[in-house]
Amino acid sequence: LAKTTQPISMDSYEGQEVNITCSHNNIATNDYITWYQQFPSQGPRFIIQGYKTKVTNEVASLFIPADRKSSTLSLPRVSLSDTAVYYCLVGDNTSGGSYIPTFGRGTSLIVHP
């Protein structure tokens, strides 16, 4: 059972706002939602995390509706350097019984000039 569902790819243009939505219908009550960014040939990098409502930092905003079954990562005024894969994570149970955030396939964002 997939924990999260995201669009496989998105295209945008420089200067536009980009919103990437992640569906997590089976999110647990105590789950946080975390987003990572990955550039080619690099490890992922933490962007933002939230539990409910809205969280904003210097890079992005995260919107989480009251039912928490989805979340939207908002990137204001993207530039070419925002071209990357974006992952939405919620927890998942491992074989060892622990609860670990799990990466899905992510959304490949391409920003055009």
102 forms part of the interface with another protein (CB under 8 A):
yes
Beta carbons within 10 angstroms of residue 53's beta carbon: 11
Sole binder of another protein in the list 11, 15, 16, 45 (CB under 8 A): 45
Which residue lies nearer to another protein by CB, 60 or 87?
A: 87
Sole binder of another protein in the list 42, 58, 81, 113 (CB under 8 A): 42
Q: How far is CA 95 from the centre of its chain?
A: 24
CB of 53 to another protein, least distance (A): 16
What are the φ and ψ backbone dihedral angles of 80, each rounded to 5 degrees?
Answer: -55, -30
Are 20 and 73 in contact by the 8 Å Cβ rule? The answer is yes
Tokens 């149970």 found at: 93
105 forms part of the interface with another protein (CB under 8 A):
yes
Are 104 and 4 in contact by the 8 Å Cβ rule? The answer is yes
**Interface contacts to another protein, rule CB under 8 A:** 28-32, 34, 36, 41-46, 49, 87, 89, 91, 94-96, 98-106
